[in-house]
Chains A and B, each alone.
Chain A
Amino acid sequence: MEQRNLLSPGTAGGSDLSRETIATLLARGLSPQGRGDADLARRLGHEVHPGAAPDLVPTPAAVLVPLIEHVDGLTVLLTQRTAHLAHHPGQISFPGGRLEPDDNGDSVAAALRETEEEVGLAVGAVTVLGRLDEYLTTTGFLVTPVVGITRPPLALTLDDFEVAEVFEVPLAFLIDTANHQMERREVEGRSRAYWAIPWQGRVIWGATAGMLVNLAEVLSHRDR
């Protein structure tokens, strides 16, 4: 088995990245400019933030991009949110939530705390490898994506108020740009662009897909 792995490196296409490589690429790929739905719109020449009030402050939030280190490659743990929630009901997202005063502005603390609350993954079981650029959503959230890694077996306990179910997607699939689709839809009479990543009958879209596109870009720079 070991021999075969040695002779066919890279076949997992991104699932074979080591913790150290990912941490290095995250540190190198961090751009101080931040990202967000508005940047996508700006790149496409769309109007940015229609109707945003200048005295409106984005609500700080943090999510964990949880990498699971299986023997045959890395996967990403995603949650399907329950249908009754006020924010992003029924959507696929990373575990996470808004910063609380006790987090003292620490995105890592917030991401790990929220992950433990939502899916029961213990704070101590996650090794933080780095973070991605902040992501500003059109819904007014300033999201800091924290990238962490953990080993199976996962003993998860879902908060059934917020999380309907959890599932894993191979990292190699998520960071393959061939799977990144740019979609458009009408929102209040305007055409709005967003990223979508279909996976086995589900669609990961919006800010979560946007952050995965950013992750793909950061991890693709490993040959440089």
Chain B
Amino acid sequence: MSQSPTSAGDDPHDGPEDHGDLGIRIARDGRWYFDGSPIDRPEMVCLFASMLTRRPDGSFWLVTEDEMGRIEVEDAPFLAVEMFTCGGGRDMVLSFRTNIDAIVTVDAEHRLRLIADTATGEAIPYVEVRDGLEARLTRAVYYELVNHGFEETVGGEELYGLWSSGTFFPLGRLADPT
């Protein structure tokens, strides 16, 4: 039976047991591996993904009520593989579907951010799915995102970007402004 929250603190072994490194890795392409072998069952990946948390130091952990362990994430734990828009211009609402079929709507709490790829100079966009866990936009989805943007003057500067749920997310300066 479940304990009342106040009595939980009395147990010296309170909290999940730490198993350290679990030997699980999420590769840059979003695939999950255990001991170097791909985890191909989507149900398994979805279950693990539901346990995924991120600590303030940036490390990734699978946490259940009783157990927890660290996993390696090469880039972002998720990929945004499909994009949906509702409305347009300043009234647009932008959503993504991730590789584990979660839907995230871009707003002030689920922000888009861009990182410059040092090798190519291209921008790599990420969207926050939940609690510091991000999905990287695939190139195809990023291109679709760029198609939906327009120029907006922000603080006296012409920036190219798009609106979602009432927040403007700049993507950068347009290579060839109008």
Residues of A within 8 A of B (CB): 32-34, 38, 48-49, 52-60, 87, 98-99, 101, 104-107, 134, 139-142, 144
Contacts and interface: CB of A to CB of B under 8 A. Distances in A.
A49 B160 CA distance: 20
A54 B123 contact: yes
A interface: dominant SS: loop
Contacts, number: 83
B153 to A, nearest CB: 14
Nearest to B141: A32
B23 interface: no
A89 to B, nearest CB: 15
B143 A134 contact: yes
Contact of A105 (B140, B144, B171): B144
A105 B87 CA distance: 11
Given A49-B122, A105-B85, A141-B175, 13 more contacts: A32-B139, A52-B121, A53-B173, A54-B116, A57-B149, A58-B146, A60-B149, A87-B176, A98-B178, A101-B88, A104-B148, A134-B143, A142-B147
Nearest to A59: B176
Given A33-B140, A53-B121, A101 B89 contact: yes
Contacts of A33: 139-140
B120 A105 contact: no
Contacts of B42: none
A106 B174 CA distance: 18
Contacts of A134: 140, 143
Interface range, B side? 20 to 34
Contacts of B178: 98
B178 to A, nearest CB: 8
A56 B173 contact: yes
Nearest to B145: A105
A54 to B, nearest CB: 3
13 contacts: A48-B120, A49-B121, A52-B122, A54-B116, A54-B117, A55-B114, A55-B116, A56-B175, A57-B146, A59-B176, A101-B88, A105-B88, A134-B143
Interface string B143-178: 110111110000000001000000000011111111
A55 B117 CA distance: 10
B138 interface: yes
Interface string B101-122: 0000000000000101100111
Nearest to A106: B147
A54 B121 contact: yes
A38 B120 contact: yes
B28 to A, nearest CB: 14
